[in-house]
Structure 1
Amino acid sequence: MKAPDTSGTSGTLIILPRLLQRRLEKAASQFISEGNAFSVDFAHPPGEAALVPADSISWRIFKNPVALFLGGIAAVLLELAEPKVRSGVWGHTNFRSAPLRRMQRTGFAAMVTVYGARSAAEEMIRHVGRMHASISGITPDGRAYRADDPALLSWVYATASFGFIEAYHAYVRRLAPEDFSRFYTEGQAAAGLYGARCTIGSRPEMAALLDQMGGALEPSSILFEFLDIIENVPVLPSPLYRLQPMLVRAAVELVPPALRARLGLSQHWSLRPWQRGVVARLGALSDRVLLTSSPAVQACRRIGLPDGYLYRSAG
């Protein structure tokens, strides 16, 4: 394995014991490779830019596996609370039968959107769009839906953006209001490619959308089935797998309190103060562990940046 180029990191990296580093590299590589349904190589073609630039907030947030795990769970909870999205996801995907595989593919698609070469990202998004165009149905209460409905796509994209940045802000590093604005603005081009009409440009605008959608969101047994699956499917490598139930609760806490109450997410899904501290330490530590097999590092190599570019001190 090529030794990481840590130039420009200002001493922020954590050097792990060799055996642990190898285990994490293997786990990260396996997760990415098993989700790679599009034969994307993040290190190629040399020099080709991504949909968002390397100096973006997005590149720094998406490199953090804790923020991605927590943010992804929070996003799916909000998506499954919308009846049409819930019917589309639960009725037309293999999440119930092969949850790990589904999570790998969803996670990989997010990585391609942020870190993949523009040509690869655009081709993957076109493929996803073709799949969405073939999915339609009727909700249990009789409402028709289509997976390519711009309104539904907008909700899905907005909730994903919300989950990732709120997880990073809560459990990795506090962000300024302008960081939120940059992040939401950076995602608008990709949202448009997916067919979403996502015009969220700030944290207050996202809060307003959640308030606006609150009345349309509803509790469901599917929410709790999803949480049970996520608590038990071995997403994280050993020994981190033992922390997975705690991390799931941390993700639930990202959902605004009023919406948690509306969805029936009771005190059972809350963390104790000491547990929040554990999750925050894990999030901060994971932001300083460089994995050469990660899409973030491979993308840096593609455009000629050092491996440690995204690990420079923030200020």
Structure 2
Amino acid sequence: MKQHDPDPPPPPVGGILWDTAGDIRALLALPAAFVLQVAHPAVGAGVDDHSVFRTDPWGRGERSLTSVMLWVYGGEAAAEEGRRLRRLHRTIRGTDPHGRRYHALTPAYYAWVHATGYPVSRYARRYFAEPFTPEEDRRFYEEWLMVGRILGIHDRDMPQTPEEFWPYYRKMLAEEVERNAVVAELTNPTRALPPPPGHHPLLRFLWPVLRPALTRSMSFLSVGLLPPEAREAIGLPWTPRQERRLRHVAALVRLVAPRLPERFRYLPLARRARSAGTSPSNP
């Protein structure tokens, strides 16, 4: 009987991702990472053709966030979540705007979706927390590779060190990423965002007032937390005035977030895992 390879392990308890992935500050960088993902023509086409990001953005966001938390804090459930995502993406295929056939699990496309988390996370950290030291940055990248293995990405399809990553990243920015319909929609400050499902009657009443402020904020963070070279490659404008505003927001976050009790600073699954000192599915 053929032996199955053991499941790839999740990032280590007490590691860089253990401390950062579930921190509420990490949420602020997610819109920018999504924009960089979909700036790839194949990924953007897949999202445009198959995603519910327009009709159910809240549900999609919640499911994506739960998935990310499981990769890091899920213990034995991490590998199963990776398998679930691969099953989900098996039927996602089509033609991109350049007439090229795509499949969501094509290694180059699948790896790019994962890879974007590294440059966006480390860039956003410069605003909201202390930047990583060179040693911490290397450990962060090593743990991000571990997440890639959980997702089913082979080592041959991922740069194996930070030194290998940056030439790959610059090549993708120069040759692949572009501003497309999905990028334009996600960065539109007047985007037609539906209200959260099951919302309170008061929220329904206030939504016409709240929605413009929320969509402007999402657009602002989506563009502002992209590394400058990525903004330039995609063709997204960013002014000195906007940069000053982002730094003011970041200063407030840096002041408040570290002083919050852990029960407010970490998302629920991360908080439970950290409280137990191990992954929730493990003894």
Q: TM-score, normalised on structure 1?
A: 0.70
Q: Is the 8 A contact 1:163 1:254 kept in 2?
A: yes
> Is 1:221–2:160 an aligned residue pair?
no
Over 3 Å counting, the alpha-carbon distance change for 1:274 and 1:86 in structure 2 is: closer
Task: Name the aligned partner's letter for residue 282 of structure 1.
Answer: V
- Cα displacement string for residues 45-102 of structure 1 (whole angstroms, at most 9, x for unaligned residues): xxxxx711222111111132222332x1221111111100111112111011111111
Over 3 Å counting, the alpha-carbon distance change for 1:230 and 1:82 in structure 2 is: farther
> Is 1:300–2:258 an aligned residue pair?
no
Match of 1:23 in 2: none
Structure 2 CA distance, aligned partners of 1:200 and 1:284? 35
Match of 1:81 in 2: 39
Structure 2 CA distance, aligned partners of 1:230 and 1:153? 30
SS in 2 for 1:291: helix
The number of aligned residues is: 251
Structure 1 CA distance, aligned partners of 2:34 and 2:235? 15
SS in 2 for 1:137: strand
Counterparts in 2 of 1:1-315, with a 5 A limit?
51-70=10-29, 72-117=30-75, 119-196=76-153, 197-202=157-162, 204-214=163-173, 215-228=175-188, 233=193, 242=213, 245-246=216-217, 248-267=219-238, 271-289=242-260, 290-291=262-263, 294-303=268-277
Q: Is the 8 A contact 1:80 1:223 kept in 2?
A: yes
Q: Is the 8 A contact 1:250 1:271 kept in 2?
A: no
- How far did residue 139 of structure 1 move? 1.4
- Cα displacement string for residues 195-242 of structure 1 (whole angstroms, at most 9, x for unaligned residues): 32323422x54432221112211111321211237977478x99x985
User: Structure 1 regions of 5+ residues with no counterpart?
Assistant: 1-49, 306-315
Match of 2:200 in 1: none
- How far did residue 140 of structure 1 move? 2.8
Structure 1 CA distance, aligned partners of 2:142 and 2:190? 30
Over 3 Å counting, the alpha-carbon distance change for 1:229 and 1:100 in structure 2 is: farther
- How far did residue 249 of structure 1 move? 2.2
Over 3 Å counting, the alpha-carbon distance change for 1:267 and 1:73 in structure 2 is: same
User: Structure 2 regions of 5+ residues with no counterpart?
Assistant: 1-8, 197-202
Q: Is the 8 A contact 2:224 2:243 kept in 1?
A: no
Q: Is the 8 A contact 1:150 1:195 kept in 2?
A: no
Structure 1 CA distance, aligned partners of 2:215 and 2:130? 21
Over 3 Å counting, the alpha-carbon distance change for 1:297 and 1:76 in structure 2 is: same
Over 3 Å counting, the alpha-carbon distance change for 1:96 and 1:268 in structure 2 is: farther
- How far did residue 248 of structure 1 move? 4.0
Over 3 Å counting, the alpha-carbon distance change for 1:186 and 1:142 in structure 2 is: same
- How far did residue 285 of structure 1 move? 2.3
- How far did residue 143 of structure 1 move? 0.5
SS in 2 for 1:187: helix
- What's the RMSD between the two structures over aligned residues? 3.0
Task: Name the aligned partner's letter for residue 210 of structure 1.
Answer: Y
Over 3 Å counting, the alpha-carbon distance change for 1:190 and 1:208 in structure 2 is: same
Structure 2 CA distance, aligned partners of 1:90 and 1:256? 24
Q: TM-score, normalised on structure 2?
A: 0.77
Over 3 Å counting, the alpha-carbon distance change for 1:93 and 1:184 in structure 2 is: same
